[in-house]
Amino acid sequence: MSAKTLTEKILSRASGKDVSPGDVIEAKVDLVAFHDLTGYHVIEVMEKANMIKVFDKSKLVIAFDHLAPPPDVRSAEIQGYIRKFVKSEGIPNFYDINYGILHEVMIEQYANPGQVILAADSHTTTSGAVGAFAQGMGASDIAAAVITGKTWLVVPQPFKVVLEGKPAKWITGKDVALKLLGDFKADYFNGMTLEIFVKDPLSFPMDYRATVSNMGIEMNADALMFIPDQETKRYIKEMRGYEPELVTPDNGAKYADEYAIQLDKMEPLVAAPHSVDNVKVVNELEGTPVDQVYIGSCTNGRLSDFEIAAKIMKGKKVKSRCIAIPASYRMFKEALERGYIQTLVDAGCIVTYGTCGPCLGGHFGIAGPGENIVSTSSRNFKGRMGSNEAKVYLSGPAVAAISALEGKITDPRVI
């Protein structure tokens, strides 16, 4: 048997046969998930097919996040519809409006190395942070997976990325994601998986990995996985109390190509309007007026993001509106206990619990016409966060925090 990449190992196990890139396979699914915005459609597909059935109730995860709390009557109706399904089917892994964003729930509590994970949301790739093959699909495919515990897919071509050195000051996972987007553009990795090797595992923590994996879909990758290592083991043990079995590629496995990033030589990056791959070094945009800053989302709503923001904002006041939303109850509670929330509130930020909120232009800070927004979220196409006439600049937490203080896009390296 030839040496296998992580992609090939996971999908060989899931399909029960030796697989190679380009093969069309039927694979067993380890976890299936959906949230309020997509869950309605998944259940509707099942009802129309007269097949309300869950293959394994312990392997279905449901979280309310996009419409949490419901901003209008229709949203409340949708959530009520899903609650009825949860109750009638006895689904144990249900997270109502008081917990957080689905993808954060998955990496905190469920995702493990080597699993196949499907969810009805494009940012399902987030679970690749722990070395799972995680992919978003539409309502019909997710309904089929909920019913049968299986899915079909084409085995992607793996692409190897190596992270070398330790991150330079203020460099986080967002900068790595933006560098990949800037260097390769948004459609380059179509039909591929990215497998990321970290040379110094503890220098690139799980929070950073989750950000990069989350934006795998922005790179048009089928999945983006970090090779499980001691940081994976540390994170899962801290979160859940056990050490996972690590699934890793074989030595000598063949990749479509290989690309290295020198973390210690990186500069803070920003994706300018209106595309995620319109990437610039922050000082190219310095001085751009900022009306509102958003720190949060399933991309950058984790503890380290709030630690960075609090460190920069401590003892100061924001000049731009600033909305800060931890991605989950656990992240909110830990940020509260460590004083990060108090620091942000004292600086003039609005803080709430885990919700998608303004990321999708849903509620809690929608962008108005002509406004410039700096956001730590994942997308900046026209209308994503509200008005088609707003401009969204994507950045990491350091650029976002200092820009809120200055009222204009600012290089955090001035600190």
> Which pLDDT score, from 0 to 100, does residue 7 have?
99
Instruction: Select from 226, 245, 262 the last residue of a domain.
Output: 262
Do 247 and 319 share a structural domain? no
Do 275 and 202 share a structural domain? no
Q: Is 349 annotated as a binding residue?
A: no
DSSP H helices in 123-267: 139-148, 173-184, 206-214, 230-240
Do 211 and 146 share a structural domain? yes
Question: How open is the CA angle 320-325-329, to the nearest 5 degrees?
Answer: 160
> Which pLDDT score, from 0 to 100, does residue 1 have?
65
Q: Return d(Cα 258, Cα 251) in angstroms, integer.
A: 14
Strands (E), 272-413: 279-281, 292-296, 321-325, 350-351, 372-375, 391-394
Under-50 pLDDT residues of the chain: none
Question: Residues 269-303, buried b or exposed e (16+ Cβ, 10 A)?
Answer: bbbbbbbbbbbeebeebeebebbbbbbbbbbbbbb
Prediction pTM value: 0.97
Do 365 and 258 share a structural domain? no
**Which helix (H) or strand (E) covers residue 329, if one does?**
helix 329-337
Do 279 and 169 share a structural domain? no
Which pair of tokens denotes residue 240?
Answer: 């859940």
Structural domain contains residue 1:
no
Q: Which residue has the tokens 């905190």?
A: 108
Structural domain contains residue 3:
no
Q: Return d(Cα 125, Cα 180) in angstroms, integer.
A: 15
Question: Residues 181-210, buried b or exposed e (16+ Cβ, 10 A)?
Answer: bbebbbeebeebbbbbbbeebeebbbbbbb
Tens-digit pLDDT profile for residues 113-151: 999 999 999 999 999 999 999 999 999 999 999 999 999
Structural domain contains residue 198:
yes
Instruction: Select from 206, 234, 262 the last residue of a domain.
Output: 262
Instruction: Select from 247, 262, 277 the last residue of a domain.
Output: 262
> Which pLDDT score, from 0 to 100, does residue 173 have?
98
Tally of structural domains, the chain: 2
CATH of the domain at 166: 3.30.499.10
Do 130 and 51 share a structural domain? yes
Do 276 and 231 share a structural domain? no
Do 184 and 99 share a structural domain? yes
Residue 349's domain comprises 269-414
